[in-house]
Every structure is written in C-alpha cells, then in structure tokens.
Amino acid sequence: MTSRRQFLMGCSAAIASMAGGRVGNLIFANPHAAGPAATTDDILVMVFLRGGCDGLSLVTPYDNPIYVAKRGDPSNGGLAVSGALDLAPNNSTFDSSIGLHPQAAPLKELYDQGHLAIVHACGLDNDTRSHFDAMDYIERGTPGNKNMSSGWLTRHLQCVHPDGTLPTLAAAAAAPISLLGEPDAVAMNDTRSYRLSGGWHYTNNPDPRYKDAMLNTAQTFYTGGDPVLAAGKRTIETIRALSGTTAYTPTTSYPDGDFGDSLQTVAQMIKLNVGLRIATVDLGGWDHHESEGVNDSWGPFNQLAATLSQGLQAFYNDLPAHQSKLTVVVMSEFGRRLGKNLSNGTDHGHGNVMLVLGGQVNGGKVYGTWPGLQDENLDQHEDLKITTDFRKVLSEIVVRRLGNGKLGTVFPGITPQIYASTNRLGIVNGTDMPIDYSSALNPVYLPMARR
C-alpha cells in the first residue's frame, strides 16, 4: 500500500511534475498521527439501506403459516413473498423454510459459494420506531443516546490510525452520521468530475506558472480547524490527489443508478491502492408504507431488492484480488411490521436481517436465533423480535478483521455479554484479541486539531 506521499508522487504525475518545493505543501494531514498504526489493512464497506428495509421479504420465512396469514396470501394479491429461493439455513432454530426474495438471485449465488452470511432477527434493540432516531443510534453506535458527538466508524478510525491517502470514503453527496466528527472523511459521488471549474488559463493551463492558479489561491483561504475550514482544506487535498486518475472501467456489470455508481467509485478507490479502509454507501427508498409490491415487477421493493443484489454481486466480483481483505456489511435501521397495513404496505417494525459478504466470511449460513412469529414471541405483539444486537455482528468484524479490540471506545456502553467469548457468532475468520470494554473517550469527543 502506498502512503499519501507515494500516491501523490506516483499516481498523480501532473502534480509531481510541478514539484519544485511544492509537494511539501501537498502532504496529507493525518489527524491520527500519534499512536500505533493499524494492525490490518482490511477494508470494510458499510451499506446502509435507508428507510427500513423489509427483511421479512428479503430473507423470508415464506412458508410460515403465521407469516403468510399476516402478510396475505400472494395468490390473493397479498404481500407474502411468492417464489422465494430456498436457502439451507444451517441453523436449527428456524421453524419454517427460509428463502431469498426472487430478485435476490445474485445473493443466492454468493450465499451458495460461501461468501455471503445472513443474520436474522437482528438489529437495534431499542423501542424506537422512528427512522431518524434509529439511524442515529445505530450510526453513532450508542443506542439510546443520540447526543454522542462522533460516529462509530470515526471512533474506530481514531483507534487504528490508518495511514493512507484516502482512508475513508463516503460514496455520496455527504458523509453519513457513522462518520460524524471525522475530519478526513471524503465525500464524493464521482471521481471524474472532482476538480475546480473555472476559467481555463487559471485552472487547466498546462503552463506550470498558471496551472492551478485558482486552486493555489483557494488553498491559502482554508487553513485552520473549524469544520468549514477543515472541509475546504480536505477538498483541495482531494482535488490534487485525484487529478491524475482516469475514468473507471469495471470488470463486471453494475446496475444503473446511484447505488451502482457509488459502488464503482469505491471499487475504483480500492484498486487505486490509496489506503482505503472504510467506505460507506447508501441505498435509500425502503419506506414502503403503501403498495410495497413485493411480488410485482413494478413493485418498489422488488426493484430495490434487484438493485441491491445485482450491485453487491457486481462489486464483489469486480474485486477478485481484494476479496480476502474485503468485508461488506448491509444493514437498515429497522425491519417492518409482520402484518401488512390496509394500504398494501408495511409500517415500521423491529427485527431485521443483516448481510455480511467477504472473502473471510463464513458464509452459506443464516446466523442468529429465530424467535418465532407467534404473538407472544413478537416485539410489542406486532414485530419480529431482536435476538442479536447489531453491535455483536459489527464487533466481531471490528475485532477479527479490522484488528481493533477497543470495543468500549467504538461502542460506548457495550457490555461484555454482547460480544462474550462463549457465544460469538463466528461469522468472520480472524484472531480474537483481548477486548477493552472501557470507554477511552473523554466525556466529549472533539475532532483532533489539524496540523
């Protein structure tokens, strides 16, 4: 892996060519400069399904009679999934068959190949049914406390001090809350147009005396630590870093649209070998209170399930050389209600699925304990119960794949029971290390001062 400086010298020839004492100005700030460097160079990609993905339709107990009755028989236009792709769950707690939605055939392939694992009845064990609160709690990593001033990925990065050109990428218009307070998080939905647009003589003029004259002037404005100044500074550093990159040609076929585009941006950055460790990608639009259409080609759920599945497969297969270091986690803020509503949709629910995809994933298995769908086994008599805390899944990846045992810092308030040595999921390979459950945080997290 190249360091930031090597990246600038090597990949961005245009900048290197103008060197002459200027490269020194271009070295990226590393806000985590002090302390030990990261122990692994694994890459974690967090895919967040915004809006409350209907996990009971994505990984469905399709022949469970309670499920069919509450969702409605598909032969009568109901919302129970028809034509599910049966999975071998390798999990004795299920009391019915379990299958993937028919649009998730690409996920079935990954599952059967052993790259994809599923966790069911999983999520944020908090009573909220609010999208905004639930996402806040999950992404800050502090259920019940949305005033935590940093995201869980930010605190993980603080622990491991990655030293790359571009360790953190939010493939979106803005960074998600899981990266709140991370001054080096780069948000970008497109590498190719990431440059300053202005009059030709003072931006693209090949004469080194004038090239980037505007950028050079702008750079002098953005020194200092407040969020606006830090973001401007990071913007200029990123423009310079990307100025030598070319258009990306994937080796697989991504779905059209923002999700496929975002995954391609992440894949490009991984292949550029710029030290990417954490990337976030969003796929929104899952809030189907009305006309969910799980069995209809026009159905919004149907289309999103296809986009998700095709995107994940294209992304994973586009990176054969990196799969052994790659882990992709897919989650949503909550599942949806077991019973459908009168608008042929589903209201906000509770337990849901998480997907874990990667070269070190013990796939081909559905993890977790199925709580059952009988009334007394439901949360508030309405929704799938949560038997696996989302932090249990993420903790195992943080420890075993990302080499960070400071779970008390990443998830303040986490109890040893959640990641107890006696009942770990074993969803990814890796070494367990001593776990530090104490919170190393000061009561207040402040983004570190920039150089």
Partner 1 sequence: MAITRRHFLATTTALSAATTAAVLMPYDVIEVQAFSQAATSAPAAATNAPLAVLALNRMGFGPRNGDIAAFNALGSTDTARLAAYVEQQLNPAAINDSMCDAKLAAARLKIQYDAHTDPDPTKSYPARHEALALDTLSQDITALWPRARGVAPYLAWQERVRPANEVRVATWIRAVYSKRQLNEVMADFWHNHFNVNTNSSSVIAATFPVYDRIIRTHSLGNFRTFVKEIAKSAAMMYYLDNVSNKAGGGEGGNENYARELFELHTLGSDNYLKFYDDRGSVGTITYNGQTYVRGYIDRDVYEAARCLSGWTLNNGHWEHPLPDDGTFLFYNDWHDNALKIVLGVQFPYNQGIEDAEQLFDLLCGHPGTARHVCTKLCRRLVSDTPPQTLIDAAVATWMANIGAPDQIKRVLRTILLSGEFRASSGQKVRRPFELVAAYVRGVGADLPIDEVLADPSAGDYWESFFWQYDAAGQPLFEWPTPTGYPDLASYWANTNGMLRRWNLPYLLVQPWGGNMAVDLRAQTDAAVPGGTCIQITDYWISRLCGYSITPGVRTELIHFLAQVAQGGDPNQPPKPMNGEPNTADLITERIEALVQLIAITPDFQRR
Q: Which residues inside 167-196 make contact with partner 1, applying CB under 8 A?
A: 170, 172-177, 180-181, 185-189, 194-196
- Which of 232, 250, 403, 430 touches partner 1 (CB under 8 A)? 232
Q: Of the listed pieces 27-35, 96-104, 232-240, 315-323, which binds partner 1 according to CB under 8 A?
A: 232-240
Restricted to residues 296-355, the positions that interact with partner 1 (CB under 8 A) are 300, 303, 337, 339-343, 345, 347-348
What are the phi and psi torsion angles at 290 (to 5°)?
A: -140, 135
**Tokens representing 13?**
């020839």
Q: For residue 376, what are the contacts with CB-CB under 8 A and spacing of at least 6? A: none
- Which of 4, 277, 288, 406 touches partner 1 (CB under 8 A)? 288
Q: What's the closest the beta carbon of residue 44 comes to partner 1, in angstroms?
A: 17
What are the phi and psi torsion angles at 248 (to 5°)?
A: -95, 135
Q: How many residues sit close enough to partner 1 to count as binding (CB under 8 A)?
A: 92
Restricted to residues 239-268, the positions that interact with partner 1 (CB under 8 A) are 239
Q: What's the closest the beta carbon of residue 87 comes to partner 1, in angstroms?
A: 27
Helix, strand and coil percent figures for the chain, each rounded to 5: 30, 15, 55
- Which of 234, 322, 365, 401 touches partner 1 (CB under 8 A)? 234
Restricted to residues 136-165, the positions that interact with partner 1 (CB under 8 A) are 136, 139-140, 146-149
Q: What's the closest the beta carbon of residue 346 comes to partner 1, in angstroms?
A: 10
Q: What's the closest the beta carbon of residue 31 comes to partner 1, in angstroms?
A: 13
Q: Of the listed pieces 18-26, 57-65, 202-210, 247-255, which binds partner 1 according to CB under 8 A?
A: 202-210
Cβ closest to partner 1, residue 232 vs residue 413: 232
Q: What's the closest the beta carbon of residue 434 comes to partner 1, in angstroms?
A: 29
Cβ closest to partner 1, residue 257 vs residue 416: 257
Q: For residue 288, what are the contacts with CB-CB under 8 A and spacing of at least 6? A: 51, 54, 300, 301, 336, 345, 346
Restricted to residues 65-124, the positions that interact with partner 1 (CB under 8 A) are none
Sheet containing 99-100: which strands, arranged edge to edge?
59-60, 99-100, 85-86
- Which of 14, 16, 23, 214 touches partner 1 (CB under 8 A)? 214
Smallest Cα–Cα separation from 119: which of 180, 179, 58, 166? Answer: 58
CB 374 within 8 A of CB 105: no
C-alpha–C-alpha distance, residues 116 and 329, integer Å: 10
Q: Which residues of 151-172 are buried (b: 16+ CB within 10 A; e: fewer)?
A: bbbbbbbbbbbbbbbbbbbbbb
> Residues 136, 138, 141, 143: what is their CA dihedral angle, to the nearest 10 degrees?
80
C-alpha–C-alpha distance, residues 193 and 124, integer Å: 38
Restricted to residues 382-441, the positions that interact with partner 1 (CB under 8 A) are none
- Which of 73, 256, 290, 296 touches partner 1 (CB under 8 A)? 290
- Which of 54, 212, 287, 396 touches partner 1 (CB under 8 A)? 287
CB 42 within 8 A of CB 277: yes
Burial class (CB in 10 A: 0-12, 13-18, 19+), 438: exposed
- Which of 1, 23, 69, 229 touches partner 1 (CB under 8 A)? 229
E strand spans, 10-136: 43-50, 59-60, 85-86, 99-100, 116-123
Q: What's the closest the beta carbon of residue 92 comes to partner 1, in angstroms?
A: 33
- Which of 58, 79, 135, 157 touches partner 1 (CB under 8 A)? 135
- Which of 60, 165, 238, 309 touches partner 1 (CB under 8 A)? 238
- Which of 103, 235, 360, 409 touches partner 1 (CB under 8 A)? 235
Cβ closest to partner 1, residue 156 vs residue 288: 288
- Which of 222, 362, 369, 424 touches partner 1 (CB under 8 A)? 222
50 binds partner 1 (CB under 8 A): yes
* DSSP conformation letters of 119-185: EEEEE--S----HHHHHHHHHHT-TT----SS-HHHHHHHHH---SSS-EEE-SSS--GGGTT-TT-
- Which of 127, 256, 296, 375 touches partner 1 (CB under 8 A)? 127
Cβ closest to partner 1, residue 116 vs residue 185: 185
- Bridge-based pairing of strands 326-332 and 59-60 is unpaired
Cβ closest to partner 1, residue 361 vs residue 386: 386
Q: For residue 297, what are the contacts with CB-CB under 8 A and spacing of at least 6? A: none
Point out which residues pair with 389 in neighbouring strands. 123
Cβ closest to partner 1, residue 88 vs residue 221: 221
Taking the alpha carbons at both ends of the chain, their separation in whole angstroms is 24
Q: Of the listed pieces 49-57, 82-90, 351-359, 406-414, which binds partner 1 according to CB under 8 A?
A: 49-57
- Which of 130, 245, 362, 369 touches partner 1 (CB under 8 A)? 130
C-alpha–C-alpha distance, residues 49 and 334, integer Å: 10
